[in-house]
Amino acid sequence: MAASNFVRRGAGVPAEAPDGERPRADKGPQGTGDALQVTREARDQTLVVRVVGDLDIRTAATFRQQVDEWFLASDHRRLVLNLSRVTFLDSTGLGAVLGRVRRVRDAGRQMVIVPPGGVSRAVLDVAALGRAVPLYRSERAALDEEAQTHA
């Protein structure tokens, strides 16, 4: 049963989930499974995107698709990308983050990042991320800053 669910969900068909369990549409050898969760919250002109889990060779495409759809295809002016709960970051994930920075800038919009800690932070620092985009200690600090610039 577990095996057939695996294949069925992998094919993108929503599975009936037992009570309290979400269907995992992209579970499967090529999907992102539970490795990555990307969520959003709109606040006026600002869109907060929170990334929880592993941003790596398996999940980077999902991340980039979500951000492009939610932010670039919207009319939000400012993106707060909260990476503080990223648990693993490789060069593919780094490239996806830098690619969003470039595309947001090309679209003439603003972006700030709340970076992760530890080795993932070191991975971002190798690419001198702090020079390309403002970094904030916390999501609150990033949002407070916005309140000030709009005050």
Smallest distance from another protein to CB 3, Å: 16
Smallest distance from another protein to CB 44, Å: 29
User: Does 88 sit near another protein (CB under 8 A)?
Assistant: yes
User: Does 92 sit near another protein (CB under 8 A)?
Assistant: yes
The secondary structure of residue 17, as a DSSP letter, is P
User: Does 12 sit near another protein (CB under 8 A)?
Assistant: no
Report the residue number, 6 or 139, with the smaller CB distance to another protein. 6
Binding segment for another protein (CB under 8 A), chosen from 15-23, 92-100, 107-115, 142-150, is: 92-100
Comparing CA positions, the residue from 81, 118, 108 lying closest to residue 96 is: 81
Q: What share of the chain is helix, strand, coil (3-state, %, to 5)?
A: 40, 25, 35
CA angle 57, 98, 139 (to 5 degrees): 100
Binding segment for another protein (CB under 8 A), chosen from 18-26, 73-81, 83-91, 142-150, is: 83-91
| Environment class of 133 (CB within 10 Å of its CB; exposed 0-12, middle 13-18, buried 19+) | buried
Report the residue number, 54 or 146, with the smaller CB distance to another protein. 54
